Amino acid sequence: MKRVLVSDNLSARGIEILRAAEGIEVDVNTGLKPEELQEVIGGYDALVIRSGTKVTAQVLARADNLRVIGRAGMGVDNVDVPEATKRGIVVMNTPGGNSVTTAEHALALIMSLVRNIPQANMSMKQGKWEKKRFQGHELCGKTLGVIGLGNIGSIVADRAQGLKMKVVGYDPYLSQERAAELGVELSDLDGLYERADIITVHVPLLDETRNLIGREAFARMKDGVYLVCAARGGIVDEEALLEALESGKVAGAALDVFREEPPGLTPLVAHDRVVCTPHLGASTVEAQEAVAIQVAEQIVDYLQRGIIRNAVNVPSVPAEILNQMAPYLDLARSLGRLQAQLGVEGLKTVELQYSGRMAEGRTGLLTAAALEGLLAVSVGERVNLVNAPVLARERGIRVSETTAKNGEDYTAMMRLGVDTAHGRFSLAGAIFGRREPRLVEIDGIPIEAIPQGHLLVFWNYDRPGLVGSIGTTLGRHQINIGQMQFGREAPGGRAVTVVNVDTEVPPEVLEELRGLPNVVSVTSARL
């Protein structure tokens, strides 16, 4: 039974989906203090949150069984993603589920800001009629600068054009072709600052975007600019914004997010040319139900079938593609596990080569699977697709991958090469048919073995009588042979023998096998 903790308020429909899933038990426990969350998190396989729960390194240190964190919403700045990744925990969000709602809120802030609607409303409630004081501006014909043209920024740009605004955008990841489809003129930040009458921000909070809108940015903006931020607190330098408001550089600002939430009655919040809302960007009935349904379905898919969708720290794989990739992933893990047991002392580099069908598409996921198998035997902690690349990097292991359309003798093939303190070693595997993994090469010697279960890998010389001596020794100890496969460099020369056995071979039997004539070494492996 998999256990799921929902620690923030989640739409009832999302809870229903989780509780209806077979093999999943759900606890809803909102408002937990950090120390309380640390106490209980160890008993759960999944955690579902919104923006309230802070998943810190201290929480993750106690999350011994946690496999996945699902954020009902887009931003994951309340999760220590690097620490989760290191611990092999998938972090998912729900992009798109609240994009329309957040974009509409940004537009509402823009309209409220340039027409002084909140201030005029408060004045009326005080019994005043200050028509001249609250004269505003039209949006028609104004230039809107959109920083970040992802899901939300693109919607804002589209709606703004419906208001007959000119839209200039900045997004280093957006192509000119996509910008043309959106009807947006791409610009660098300096050009956007120089031209925009109103600027709206729609980027995630990252190290490179923290305080992105600061003193230098304000200095480059037009006098009397309006600024809107419904993205993440910390992107706008709040002290610099207050200075720009006081100087008149910024005519007005509208903020839905703050560096600290709730911010309290700060001078910025109290400023009469600042419109504030308490992080309402995604707060509509429709959006909250949409993200709740989405995160619940993603959690169920992952816990029941291992399907990863909308993860921020591992490649997401749709169900149909995961099904197609399953034999490739199994082969990659098996090669990694086998090499780990054959020897990786002083591991320096790992090289992955993919050809044929295995070179088509998601080789990064295959590389992660090979590293998972390679490290799981020796690292001594949970290793999976999420954290295997991180663990390799932390250990100073250089990882590279290459691809080739030509599949050599196979339609789908991969090679795993390692450089260790004892030299260079390699394995190769292929998929027979569409789903049958095979070990097809050991250190350059061709072979055809099934990489599963208990294996004995012999380095030996190709001499008469070897097969009989191995079979006799194993038979005397009641160890049944499933398969025995051979490969050699040349007749009578160096050779490799792979034996599939039904049970683990005891150490004393291994010693006896090592003492057989023409046997150089024997390694027992379990895949």
In this structure, of 113-122, 359-368, 372-381, 469-478, the range with the lowest mean pLDDT score is: 372-381
- Mean predicted lDDT score pLDDT of the chain: 92
End position of a domain, from candidates 366, 401, 435: 435
Task: Say whether pLDDT at 359 is over 60.
Answer: yes
Query: Does residue 441 fall inside a structural domain?
Result: no
Q: Please tell me which residue in 202, 232, 333, 438 is annotated as part of the active site.
A: 232
Task: Say whether pLDDT at 334 is over 80.
Answer: yes
Query: Does residue 266 fall inside a structural domain?
Result: yes
pLDDT band at 319 (very low <50, low <70, confident <90, very high): low
The whole-number pLDDT of residue 112 equals 97
Within 8 A by CB and 6+ apart from 42, the residues are: 62, 63, 64, 65
In this structure, of 253-267, 322-336, 370-384, the range with the lowest mean pLDDT score is: 370-384
Task: Say whether pLDDT at 55 is over 80.
Answer: yes
| 270 and 295, same domain (yes or no) | no
| 6 and 109, same domain (yes or no) | no
Query: Does residue 442 fall inside a structural domain?
Result: no
Is the separation of the CB atoms in 234 and 261 below 8 Å? no
User: For 251, which DSSP code?
Assistant: E
List the beta bridge partners of residue 229.
201, 255
Q: Please tell me which residue in 273, 279, 454, 488 is annotated as part of the active site.
A: 279
In this structure, of 18-27, 87-96, 124-133, the range with the lowest mean pLDDT score is: 87-96
Specify the higher pLDDT residue, 385 or 250: 250
The whole-number pLDDT of residue 358 equals 85
The whole-number pLDDT of residue 77 equals 85
The whole-number pLDDT of residue 463 equals 93
pLDDT tens digits, residue range 140-172? 999 999 999 988 999 999 999 999 999 999 998
Task: Say whether pLDDT at 500 is over 60.
Answer: yes
| CA distance linking residue 198 with residue 110, whole number of Å | 8
Burial class (CB in 10 A: 0-12, 13-18, 19+), 55: buried
- Domain range enclosing 401: 318-435
| 324 and 410, same domain (yes or no) | yes
- The DSSP result for 42-109, as a single string, is GG-SEEEE-SS--B-HHHHHT-TT--EEEESSS--TTB-HHHHHHTT-EEE--TTTTHHHHHHHHHHH
Helix, strand and coil percent figures for the chain, each rounded to 5: 35, 25, 40
Q: How far is CA 363 from the centre of its chain?
A: 15
pLDDT band at 202 (very low <50, low <70, confident <90, very high): very high
Query: Does residue 296 fall inside a structural domain?
Result: yes
The whole-number pLDDT of residue 407 equals 56
List the beta bridge partners of residue 146.
169, 200
Query: Does residue 445 fall inside a structural domain?
Result: no
Within 8 A by CB and 6+ apart from 268, the residues are: 238, 241, 242, 245, 255, 274
| CA distance linking residue 395 with residue 405, whole number of Å | 32
| CA distance linking residue 243 with residue 466, whole number of Å | 85
The whole-number pLDDT of residue 182 equals 93
Annotated catalytic residue 232: yes
Query: Does residue 350 fall inside a structural domain?
Result: yes
- The DSSP result for 192-238, as a single string, is HHHH-SEEEE-----TTTTT-BSHHHHHHSPTTEEEEE-S-TTSB-H
| CA distance linking residue 73 with residue 282, whole number of Å | 8
pLDDT tens digits, residue range 274-305? 999 999 998 899 999 999 999 999 999 999 98
- CA atoms within a 13 Å half-sphere pointing along the CA-CB vector of 47: 34
| 143 and 221, same domain (yes or no) | yes
pLDDT band at 408 (very low <50, low <70, confident <90, very high): low
| 76 and 124, same domain (yes or no) | no
Annotated catalytic residue 137: no
Task: Say whether pLDDT at 249 is over 90.
Answer: yes
Domain count, the chain: 4
| 352 and 429, same domain (yes or no) | yes
| CA distance linking residue 36 with residue 32, whole number of Å | 6
End position of a domain, from candidates 377, 403, 435: 435
| 106 and 133, same domain (yes or no) | yes
Please compute the mean of the pLDDT values over residues 337-345 and round it to a whole number.
90
Within 8 A by CB and 6+ apart from 505, the residues are: 454, 456, 474, 479, 513, 524
CATH code, domain carrying 523: 3.30.70.260
Within 8 A by CB and 6+ apart from 55, the residues are: 47, 49, 69, 78, 79, 80, 84
Is the whole-model pTM more than 0.85? no
Sign of torsion over alpha carbons 62, 390, 326, 420: negative
| 328 and 417, same domain (yes or no) | yes
Going from the C-alpha of 33 to that of each of 26, 59, 257, the distances in angstroms are 19, 11, 22
Residue 437 identity: P
Please compute the mean of the pLDDT values over residues 92-100 and round it to a whole number.
88
Percent of residues, the chain, with pLDDT higher than 90? 76
Is the separation of the CB atoms in 276 and 296 below 8 Å? no
CA dihedral 111, 112, 114, 115 (to 10 degrees): 100
pLDDT band at 404 (very low <50, low <70, confident <90, very high): confident
Annotated catalytic residue 202: no
In this structure, of 41-50, 123-132, 429-438, the range with the lowest mean pLDDT score is: 429-438
Q: Where are the beta strands (DSSP E) in 223-348?
A: 225-229, 250-255, 274-276
Within 8 A by CB and 6+ apart from 520, the residues are: 458, 459, 460, 461
CATH code, domain carrying 430: 3.30.1330.90
The whole-number pLDDT of residue 17 equals 97
Query: Does residue 87 fall inside a structural domain?
Result: yes
Q: Which two tokens stand for residue 363?
A: 């080789």
Q: Which two tokens stand for residue 369?
A: 């699977």
pLDDT tens digits, residue range 102-118? 999 999 999 999 999 99
Please compute the mean of the pLDDT values over residues 68-74 and round it to a whole number.
93
| 116 and 251, same domain (yes or no) | yes
| 430 and 484, same domain (yes or no) | no
| 423 and 467, same domain (yes or no) | no
Please compute the mean of the pLDDT values over residues 184-209 and round it to a whole number.
93
| 427 and 467, same domain (yes or no) | no
Please compute the mean of the pLDDT values over residues 177-199 and round it to a whole number.
95
Q: Please tell me which residue in 216, 246, 261, 381 is annotated as part of the active site.
A: 261
Percent of residues, the chain, with pLDDT higher than 70? 98
Query: Does residue 312 fall inside a structural domain?
Result: no
Task: Say whether pLDDT at 381 is over 70.
Answer: no
Q: Which two tokens stand for residue 480?
A: 């049944």
CATH code, domain carrying 109: 3.40.50.720
CA dihedral 243, 209, 279, 182 (to 10 degrees): 110
Please compute the mean of the pLDDT values over residues 27-44 and round it to a whole number.
95
